[in-house]
Each structure stands twice: as C-alpha cells, then as structure tokens.
Chain A
Amino acid sequence: MGSSSLRRTRITGNGQQFRELSDLSTNGFSLSDVDERTVSGLCDNYPFNGQSAYSGVIEYSEDAMWGGGRDIELEFEFRDQSNLFILDTEVDLPSVESVIQKLNTLSPDDVKIYRSLTVHRERLWDFLNNADKIIELTLIGDQGTEISFEELDSELHEPELEIEQYPIESATVVFSYEGEQILTRYTDGTLSVQSDVSEATEYLVQLFERDVIGDSGD
C-alpha cells in the first residue's frame, strides 16, 4: 500500500524554486524535471482551490550499514499555498527522513523542509476526532510519559486539563472516501496517509489542508 508523508516547507517566492531542484542532482541522489498542475477541490469548502502543485521523482541510493544498499524512487509534490511537501513512498519512515535530510542539505538556504508539521494542537484533535474510526491514540502526559487512550480516565491526575490540551504522541485513524478506507497516522509531528487509490489520498490531504492548515477564521 502506498504511503504519502506530509511535511511543512518554507520556500521564498513561489514553487518555481522547486523547478530548480532538478539541478541539485548529485551522485546517488537525483531529481527528475518538475511538472506543474492545478489542484481542484475534492472536499467541500476547500480553501486552496486553484493552488499549484509541483511534482517530480527523486531517485536515491541508500547506503546499508553492511554493504549493498538499495535504490529508492519517491514521488514528491510541493503545494504553493498550503506549503505542504508530500513524499509518496513504499518504504519505511527512516528512509523518508534521510531523503528529507539530503534535500535540505542540497537545497539553497531559502528552501527548507521541516521535520514537524507544527500545527495547532486543538485543530489536529478536531481533525482526528472527525475520522470514522480511531484505532490507536497515545498522548504525552505531564511528566513526559506516554498515556494510551485507554489509560486516560484512570491515569489523569489533573482533571482541570482538557484532553485536547495534551500533545499527541501518535494516532492511527481511518477515514473513508467513496467506500475507500484511508489509513492515516500522525506520529513524531508528521502525518502519513495510506491508500491504494490516489483520489482518496488527495481527498484526505485536502481535508487536512482545510481543517488544520487553512485559515481557521477565528
């Protein structure tokens, strides 16, 4: 099952900068030419209708600790209004981190891909609460220890704190789009979306852009 990992970026100017990333190719790390498309809303009240998405392919040779290694191919996309950077991958998370680290090292200083999404906590809570099903939820308690959703009632020592005031360590939830189940996982400050149907993935990314990133209207 394909997985899309969402990151936040800072790019001065517009997404044209991503066109120049293909010049950054080095030994063991290359970027294809970048295509541009316009994003049209799949969900209601999508705030970034008409934004440009710049996409391409990264080819990356990952070294192994004991020789060998493997070649990895990842599709990436940058959205110029929500400032999301999305890596589509079949591989595990550590490889995604090393690709982002490599991109940050090679890119000019005005292009930066962050490790964490750094969104408002209560909007993330609302987004996860709107899922069809919550499979797993772990919070970070007062002393830095982790508390599972099941332990919450018994272990919360300070009832004056609302549940939404606790940082989320990890959450696995399921959304659905036209009968397709979309497994969504928030962990270490990033969101990954798993679905075999690209339109379902796009729908979930747009939900996240609308409910968590877009202007809250406060």
Chain B
Amino acid sequence: MAGAFPSIAHLRAEFRPFLSEYKSSILAWGSGILGTVLWIASSVLTSTPVAVSAAGMYVVPAVGYYLAYRPFGIQIDLTPIATVEGEKEPDKVAESRGEAILRSGECELRGGVTISERLDDFALQFDVPDDIRVELRDIPCAEQEYDPEKNILWADNVSVYRFSIVLLVYSDEHVEGQTYEYPLKIRDGEGGKPVQSIDLVTR
C-alpha cells in the first residue's frame, strides 16, 4: 500500500504526468526564460555563481511546483447526486461550487478515477471528520482491496487504470435546519496529500 511518502517507483510514475502539467504552467515559462538569460550571462561573464543561479532557476521552481501540487497521475471526478421528485439526478450546481449537499443527513457521490498507466500501485483514502461517515458502495475491480475502517481503496498490481466509484457520505446525528460544512478529502495514500477535496454541507 502506498504511504504518505512516495516510493521511487511512485515518483517515477508521477514524473511524466507532472512534466506535462508543469511544462504548460506559467511558472515553467518564466523560470525557463530567466534561467536561459542567466545561463547566457554566466558564459559571457564566466561566472560560476551565475551559472549555479541559472541551474537553480530551472530546478527550484520545478521542485516547488511538484511539492505544492503533487500527487500527479491520479485524477478523480465526482458528482454529487440529488434526489428530485424521487429520481436521482446529478447536482451540477453543487458540483460547480465544489460542494455536496447532505439532504436528510446524507448524499451520494458518483464519478470516475483515472490512474496513470505508469503507476504500479495506488492507494486512495476517503477522509472525513469524525462527525461524518463515508462508505464506498462497492469495490470496483477484482485486483483492488478496501479497508472499511480506514476507508482506503488500494491495488498493488494495477491493470485497470480507469474505473467508476460511488460514495455514500452521511451523518448519524444530523439536525434538520442547521448548516455545517465538513471537508471530504480523497488522499493519495493514508494521510497523504489530497487529490480531490469536496465541501460537504448539511442543510
């Protein structure tokens, strides 16, 4: 199971998705131009400190971007479901706000998970505060396992890179008419960095 600290294999798997995202960022453009200017200046001035600064200008923003926005290689899209006149329908309004409304103390979320084909293993933790409970409806693939106590879905030898999930979030002690917000964080491994966050709102 992948833990909070990524393994070398995990880092390698993240590299390509990270690179393709980083290359299209403004930060990469800016640091690239500045780094090139410094590099040319270092050869004109034959100055080692400037050359080191030029190298740092390439590397430091890339490392910073990775640490700030990791993990790369796992994408999760979830849509909250509302029951309208007895029919379950996607709640696009709440989704656009990054929210899910817990009506009568509960809400269903449906969606898909896409894993980078370079990942050999993954672990996703569905993390909510103590007042809220979250359950995965079913285990999507034969190769995956699920720990209902820690709410972790994982696979050690990934062969299915895209699958659907259904989550049920609910409160056992909800009070009608009171508004609370709780975060649902889907983490990369137990206690890892959130891949996706959704505000659960009770009404």
Contacts and interface: CB of A to CB of B under 8 A. Distances in A.
B139 A120 contact: yes
Interface of B: 79, 81, 88-90, 110-112, 133, 135-142, 146, 148-149, 160, 163-166, 168, 170, 172-173
A65 B105 CA distance: 16
A121 B168 contact: no
Nearest to B87: A146
A74 B133 CA distance: 25
Contacts of B112: 142
30 contacts: A10-B149, A104-B172, A114-B148, A115-B135, A116-B135, A116-B138, A117-B138, A118-B137, A118-B139, A120-B138, A120-B139, A120-B142, A121-B141, A122-B141, A140-B110, A140-B166, A144-B81, A145-B89, A146-B88, A165-B164, A166-B164, A167-B137, A167-B138, A167-B164, A167-B165, A167-B166, A168-B138, A189-B137, A189-B138, A189-B166
Given A105-B172, A140-B164, 20 more contacts: A114-B148, A115-B133, A115-B135, A116-B136, A117-B138, A118-B136, A119-B139, A120-B142, A121-B138, A121-B141, A122-B141, A123-B142, A124-B138, A144-B90, A146-B88, A165-B160, A165-B163, A165-B164, A167-B164, A168-B138
A143 interface: yes
Nearest to A100: B172
A189 B138 CA distance: 7
Task: Classify the interface of chain B: helix, strand, loop or mixed.
Answer: strand
B82 to A, nearest CB: 11
A27 to B, nearest CB: 17
A114 B135 contact: yes
A116 B106 CA distance: 13
Contact of A116 (B81, B137, B164, B173): B137
Contacts of B148: 8, 10, 114, 118
Nearest to B142: A122
Contacts of B141: 120-122, 165
A218 interface: yes
A142 B146 contact: no
A119 B170 CA distance: 19
Interface centre among A114, A118, A123 (most CB of B within 10 A): A118
Contact of A143 (B90, B160, B163): B90
A140 B79 CA distance: 12
A179 to B, nearest CB: 32
A130 interface: no
A118 B42 CA distance: 61
B172 A116 contact: no
A165 B170 contact: no
B173 A144 contact: no
Contacts of A16: none
Contact of B90 (A122, A124, A145): A145
Contacts of A145: 89-90
A14 interface: no
Contact of A105 (B81, B90, B140, B173): B173
Interface string A146-189: 10000000000000000001111100000000000000000011
B142 A189 contact: no
A202 to B, nearest CB: 24
A144 B133 CA distance: 21
B174 to A, nearest CB: 10
Contacts of B170: 115
A137 B77 CA distance: 25
A144 B146 CA distance: 22
Given A105-B172, A115-B168, A144 B138 contact: no
Nearest to B174: A101
